[in-house]
Structure 1
Amino acid sequence: MSSPSLRRRCRTAAVRALALATGVTAALLFAQPSQAPAPATTELNASPVAVTDRQIAVPEAPMGWASWNAFAAKVDYNVIKQQVDAFVAAGLREAGYEYINIDEGWWQGTRDSAGNITVDEAEWPGGMKAIADYIHSKGLKAGIYTDAGKDGCGYYFPTGRPAAPGSGSEGHYEQDMTQFSRWGFDFVKVDWCGGDAERLDSKTTYQAISDAVAAATATTGRPLTLSLCNWGRSNPWNWAPGMGAMWRTNSDIFFHGGTPSYGNVLTAFDRNIHPTAQHTGYYNDPDMMVVGMNGLSAAQNRSHMNLWAISGAPLLAGLDLTTLTTETRNILTNPEVIAVDQDPRGLQGVKVAEDTRNLQVYGKVLSGNGNRAVVLLNRTSTTQNMTVRWSDLGLTNATATVRDLWTRTNVATTGTSYTASVPAGTSVMLTIKGGTEQSASTYNGTAGFSGVAAGSAGLKTVDVSYTNNTSAPVKATLTVNGSQTPTKVSFPPTGSSPGNISVAVSLKQGSANTISFSGAPTLEGIVVRALPGRNGTLVTGAQSGRCLDIDNNTINNGTDAQLWDCNGGQNQVWQYNSTRKELVVYGNKCLDAHGAGTTNGTRVVIWDCTGATNQKWNVNSDGTITNVNAGLCLDAYGAATTNRTKLVLWGCNGQNNQKWSLT
């Protein structure tokens, strides 16, 4: 396995955990009589059977510092040594940060006759082993950088140094990973400039790199944490889990030579939410942080930390640490915010409510019974009162303790909900602890589970009880409903008694769901709990019986809507807001009439939600869905019924290819 267990010296070990709960509310907007939803009684009232509640801590998201944001390619031994010394002096090590990652610029593409990397020892006295040794001498871990292609980013985008041909690892994957490991490096980031220019296939290329990392670890005995950095190209959340500890989900948070902005932060955060991919030590990566850099206020820096923490992102500071102020240090080292990011359950927070546009509530399921983290994100230009409801988080309306993580005080002991004043353009971060979980369903089984019930389509938390009485994690494949994109799941050692890991899955409404594991250790059972704030609906064509779908979990603006077999994946679960008349997928993308078109054949796509009338839809009692701007019907083009049939706008004609049910 490419990503080692990242235990922190200051962290607690495995937490006894919860059986996380969810209440279920049906999200039926309208349905044809023949498509009425199955009763939700199984999910709500299932009798529990014996499964363990012992949560097994998974490897946390990496924390540390990386050189690129502050120094670009202008790095050498002295620059890194100064940053290490400042890192230690600031107390970042004690706060849980542990990596010093040397990004692009350390190597200019030179190799010896045997193909081994060589460096300029005037810049790196003693070679790269010497700087790795210095980092280790401070009780820290060392990271290094390369590219998947033959020529790396320093060739295609020289920044601070001349173009450097040959500065990638293509053709030398195992040789380079072994050399990095022998030098003493613990982490390697593999960029994609050469891979992109050469049109390499992302999935197969990074699989080869992951295999090379595993081979290097077997050779040297030193694990390397692999960071995949192809900027979200080819939807890595579909295939990167199991290849490395983290994968980039978007382009750089800012381009060197520019100034970071809070808008950059929000964009990176929005593109990073892929909850079914993040689990068991595998993390979506929105990029290095810009906390403390020019361009953000103190309040925006705190909000930046909130967003990375609620999404469980890697925390890699990027500022020049020799300029670290007390204010920035206190932001980076807030122990309660870090604890949310590093929660041993390893899940990602998601948007659970947006009653008013741009007033967004995010919730994260934490270890321990009845515990949640919450971010109230105010994207408007005025201070707003914002409310989090227990019911959206999967808690009952019972008393829980609310804590503000920046004032570090308990602010309420209450049930039902909590309201806070949130300044314009920033956020408030809370924990809600000691709540009562809503009901759950428990299923016994050793590998596969059928008849799994859901009261509504949408995201669920699944605790998986298993025994792994070995010294190493076991990697398995999780498949939901047969045709959703599978994901790799890691089962850490449990000792001789069972333990739990948690994953997020997306289910259809009813009791026809299946959850299966291939290659897993012996399973005891699963506990399935809904997250009501993510309840939604499938939009099913009356003629085709297939669902409104976004191909391959793609999030890019302008991606066409299509028909596909209904499987309940996140790319098929839509939330319809009857007030705003929006159909929203992934929590932040709206169904959109492309270019505000009003003619037959106008493409129907997804786009960032803007509130424009071309993103407003009337769901009608006759089964049609009409675009408010165009007055035309949502139509399966050409009355086709096959997978990949594109959806368009067309004049309403009463045919079945224009009729839909939402269940």
Structure 2
Amino acid sequence: MSPAPRADSPGFRRRCRSAAVRALALATTATAALLFAQPGQTPYPATPLDARPVAVTDRQMAVPAAPMGWASWNAFAAKVDYDVIKKQVDAFVAAGLPEAGYEYINIDEGWWQGTRDSAGNITVDEAEWPGGMKAIADYIHSKGLKAGLYTDAGKDGCGYYFPTGRPAAPGSGSEGHYVQDMTQFSRWGFDFVKVDWCGGDAEGLDPKTTYQAISDAVTQATATTGRPLALSLCNWGYSNPWNWAPGMGPMWRTNTDIFFHGGTPSYGNVLTAFDRNVHPTAQHTGFYNDADMMVTGMNGLTAAQNRSHMNLWAISGAPLLTGLDLTTMSADTRSVLTNPEVIAVDQDPRGLQGVKVAEDTSGLQVYGKVLSGTGNRAVVLLNRTSTTQNMTVRWSDLGLTNAAATVRDLWARQNVGTPGTGYTTGVPAGGSVMLTVTGGTEQPAATYNGTASFSGVGAAGTGLKTVDVSYTNTSSTARVGILTVNGQTPTKVSFPPTGSTPGSVSVQVGLTKGAANTIAFSGVPTLEGIVVRPLPGTDAALVTGTQSGRCADINDNTITNGTDAQLWTCNGGLNQQWSYHSARKELVVYGNKCLDAYNRGTTNGTRVVIWDCTGGSNQKWNVNADGTITNVNAGLCLDAYQAATTNGTKLVLWSCNGQNNQKWSLT
């Protein structure tokens, strides 16, 4: 099922199919159940996993982890009723998924055919849903599970525009009834609502303001009923929700659908969804990038691909929402979905996202995730090539010193060595290996004292850094504040209760090389200070224009292929962090997008854009000693158009002329 074609997703605009859930936080060393609700609605735990007296910044507070559960769409599309869901609930329990940490049963599209009574309340066919929707929510709850439901942000839902299984009648969206519908869902007993975007897209609604109104309605519904209702924002990554969705709800979709009902899941689509989901500065303190519902165990993926699928979602801390028919799930699929060590990485209570830390050879990618505790990391070695390759993770790329650490293979479920500088292993073609590195020694960190704004923050290199924020929150609920770094797009940060003893939460931020960085908070509880920890594997460079003093930038953190590169005030954000791979001559941003001469152009004025890295000569650049950067295919220079120096000036190719608008420094 698909809306109209879109340039960045040839042939299809896929609608959101992951279901919504509340979260369960699993510690890497202990299991801790946490309520996953809108910040400020439900108390977070007031004690950390380890309550021994420690230094302020060592007392890490567990944050709500990414949701885990099952959703109906992949297996059943719009053909759902009480009996279908009941059978899945029973199979879910029989398979032992609750014991592994999965707890949500989510009813996707098809439950509601768009009718309302004279008061505007949703009505359902009680021949399909005996006892109404409250009855199925009650059955889900009777098994110790949580229940999720589905609607659309527009007047008409996806089933009206793109019927799959059966069409929906007009009016199957919640526009004009946000407070009424959210309150009704809560009164029925649902714990989570996923709000899709087919109607919103068709009507041209603004995603940010629309989802803010829905988030406000969820807050009001919770205040009315006393039942927390967690919100999943599902607008397919349009309008860059990683910029504004944190704090509106616990999760937001970052990309189009992996899978079309009636088709066959593709491992290529799994990789694409993973690539589009990496927005590490947005994911923290209980707010998560959602890469879409998993297709693990469905026809089309091999056993090795199923494991890689799980590895990639876990290293990125994505929601683990499976969508297969549980009544026919194989023992092998069950073993993949319930691997406790992989799940523990996904559910790590520090709540950070893993990022690419090395790609020495094209297609041999190393991802690292900072885990709770000190000196602990998760690693995925991903081989995207067509042959088996030896791959190495270096401790230095993980922000660890060359000290002994314990390496564990999470699928072999055994330790595989305690080397001093790194670990090397063979990785099959198209496959992956998942490891934990524990007991390592953190590279030296810098501590800054203060209460709200920290200036003069230093970084050895431009790139992503981990920041531990020490604070005291003596209230019974989380407090949400605003974090701004170097004038970058602000993000909301949640501070769980600490009791009277300070604790810390972690975020990842983009800093520039040197000591001119500023990390500022507003609307937060009492702060004690921050600790900035390096992640050298993510070091990059600012590409700074000699004439303008401004940096090569991708507007608004956009990841869409064909987005123009431009000049903007240097701030060290992810959209300004460029890695130059001298052997491949690629300038890479976001870890997977290459600076590209559009359509292989070779004439003056050719647009310079970002595109998925292909290895083409139009994505190869020579960084020259005279400060120029020349495109290998065109032989032309990277140029600030018309020698302009203002924010938003487009970058183009132009005949090399030695002028300062064609000279750049990489710092």
Describe the SS at the equivalent of 1:353.
strand
Summarize the alignment of residues 647-662 of structure 1 with structure 2, pairs less than 5 Å apart. Answer: 647-662=651-666
Residue 6 of structure 1: how far off its partner (Å): 4.0
- Say whether residues 1:557 and 2:577 are aligned partners: no
How big is each residue's C-alpha offset from its partner over 1:636-659, in whole Å with a ceiling of 9 and x where there is no partner?
001000000000000000111001
- Say whether residues 1:83 and 2:88 are aligned partners: yes
- Say whether residues 1:444 and 2:464 are aligned partners: no
Partner of 2:41: none
Summarize the alignment of residues 400-419 of structure 1 with structure 2, pairs less than 5 Å apart. Answer: 400-419=405-424
- Say whether residues 1:599 and 2:588 are aligned partners: no
| Contact 1:17/1:368 (<8 A) preserved | no
Partner of 2:522: 518
How big is each residue's C-alpha offset from its partner over 1:582-632, in whole Å with a ceiling of 9 and x where there is no partner?
100000000000011100000000000111110000001111000011000
Q: Distance in 1 between matches of 2:251 and 2:162?
A: 24
Q: Distance in 2 between matches of 1:570 and 1:106?
A: 40
| Contact 2:21/2:191 (<8 A) preserved | no
Summarize the alignment of residues 611-622 of structure 1 with structure 2, pairs less than 5 Å apart. Answer: 611-622=615-626
Which of 12, 25, 33 is 2:32 aligned to? 12
Q: Distance in 2 between matches of 1:5 and 1:363?
A: 23
Partner of 2:463: 458
Q: Distance in 1 between matches of 2:320 and 2:378?
A: 17
Q: Distance in 2 between matches of 1:469 and 1:252?
A: 42
| Contact 1:16/1:368 (<8 A) preserved | no
- Say whether residues 1:391 and 2:396 are aligned partners: yes
Partner of 1:295: 300
Q: Distance in 2 between matches of 1:144 and 1:97?
A: 16
| Contact 1:15/1:344 (<8 A) preserved | no
Which of 136, 142, 146 is 1:137 aligned to? 142
- Say whether residues 1:485 and 2:485 are aligned partners: no
- Say whether residues 1:92 and 2:97 are aligned partners: yes
Change (3 A) 1:16 1:627: farther
Q: Distance in 2 between matches of 1:485 and 1:137?
A: 44
- Say whether residues 1:224 and 2:229 are aligned partners: yes
Q: Distance in 1 between matches of 2:31 and 2:431?
A: 29
Instruction: Give the alignment's TM-score, normalised by structure 1.
Output: 0.94
Residue 402 of structure 1: how far off its partner (Å): 0.3
Q: Distance in 2 between matches of 1:289 and 1:596?
A: 36
Summarize the alignment of residues 174-213 of structure 1 with structure 2, pairs less than 5 Å apart. Answer: 174-213=179-218
Q: Distance in 2 between matches of 1:378 and 1:6?
A: 31
Q: How many pairs are equivalent?
A: 631
| Contact 1:144/1:188 (<8 A) preserved | yes
| Contact 2:357/2:368 (<8 A) preserved | yes
Q: Distance in 2 between matches of 1:587 and 1:7?
A: 28
Q: Distance in 2 between matches of 1:154 and 1:423?
A: 41
Q: Distance in 1 between matches of 2:219 and 2:507?
A: 24
- Say whether residues 1:469 and 2:469 are aligned partners: no
Residue 5 of structure 1: how far off its partner (Å): 6.5
| Contact 1:375/1:428 (<8 A) preserved | yes
Report the AA paired with residue 584 of structure 1. V
Report the AA paired with residue 404 of structure 2. T
Which runs of 5 or more residues in structure 2 are unaligned?
Answer: 1-19, 34-47
| Contact 2:21/2:68 (<8 A) preserved | no
Partner of 1:333: 338
Partner of 1:423: 428
Summarize the alignment of residues 486-635 of structure 1 with structure 2, pairs less than 5 Å apart. Answer: 486-635=490-639
| Contact 2:21/2:147 (<8 A) preserved | no
Q: Distance in 1 between matches of 2:534 and 2:587?
A: 21
Partner of 1:643: 647
How big is each residue's C-alpha offset from its partner over 1:102-144, in whole Å with a ceiling of 9 and x where there is no partner?
0000000100111110000000000000000000000000000
How big is each residue's C-alpha offset from its partner over 1:302-328, in whole Å with a ceiling of 9 and x where there is no partner?
000000000000000000000011111
Residue 12 of structure 1: how far off its partner (Å): 3.5
Which runs of 5 or more residues in structure 1 are unaligned?
Answer: 19-48
| Contact 1:16/1:53 (<8 A) preserved | no
| Contact 1:464/1:527 (<8 A) preserved | yes
Q: Distance in 2 between matches of 1:207 and 1:457?
A: 33
Residue 496 of structure 1: how far off its partner (Å): 0.8
Which of 307, 310, 315 is 2:312 aligned to? 307
Partner of 1:118: 123
| Contact 2:21/2:148 (<8 A) preserved | no
Q: Distance in 1 between matches of 2:503 and 2:266?
A: 43
Q: Distance in 1 between matches of 2:332 and 2:394?
A: 32
What is the RMSD of the two structures over their aligned residues, measured on CA atoms? 1.5
Report the AA paired with residue 643 of structure 2. A
Residue 278 of structure 1: how far off its partner (Å): 0.2
Residue 430 of structure 1: how far off its partner (Å): 0.2
Partner of 1:38: none
| Contact 1:110/1:118 (<8 A) preserved | yes
Q: Distance in 2 between matches of 1:239 and 1:3?
A: 20
- Say whether residues 1:246 and 2:251 are aligned partners: yes
| Contact 1:268/1:286 (<8 A) preserved | yes
Partner of 2:16: none
| Contact 2:57/2:469 (<8 A) preserved | no
Q: Distance in 1 between matches of 2:383 and 2:420?
A: 23
Instruction: Give the alignment's TM-score, normalised by structure 2.
Output: 0.93
Q: Distance in 1 between matches of 2:377 and 2:352?
A: 11
Residue 414 of structure 1: how far off its partner (Å): 1.2
Q: Detail structure 1 runs of 4+ shifted over 2 Å in the superposition.
A: 2-10, 12-18, 49-52
Describe the SS at the equivalent of 2:454.
strand
Report the AA paired with residue 129 of structure 1. K
Q: Distance in 2 between matches of 1:246 and 1:317?
A: 16
Describe the SS at the equivalent of 1:536.
coil
Q: Distance in 2 between matches of 1:499 and 1:3?
A: 27
Change (3 A) 1:512 1:16: farther
Describe the SS at the equivalent of 1:190.
strand
Q: Distance in 2 between matches of 1:5 and 1:68?
A: 20
| Contact 1:390/1:396 (<8 A) preserved | yes
Q: Distance in 1 between matches of 2:191 and 2:25?
A: 13
Residue 409 of structure 1: how far off its partner (Å): 0.3
Describe the SS at the equivalent of 2:385.
coil
Change (3 A) 1:99 1:329: same
- Say whether residues 1:169 and 2:193 are aligned partners: no
Describe the SS at the equivalent of 1:414.
coil
Residue 164 of structure 1: how far off its partner (Å): 2.0
Residue 7 of structure 1: how far off its partner (Å): 4.8
Describe the SS at the equivalent of 1:309.
helix
Residue 225 of structure 1: how far off its partner (Å): 1.2
Describe the SS at the equivalent of 1:635.
strand
Q: Distance in 2 between matches of 1:355 and 1:235?
A: 29
Summarize the alignment of residues 47-62 of structure 1 with structure 2, pairs less than 5 Å apart. Answer: 51-62=56-67
| Contact 1:479/1:515 (<8 A) preserved | yes
Q: Distance in 1 between matches of 2:498 and 2:25?
A: 15
| Contact 1:3/1:244 (<8 A) preserved | no
Q: Distance in 2 between matches of 1:3 and 1:123?
A: 23
- Say whether residues 1:264 and 2:286 are aligned partners: no
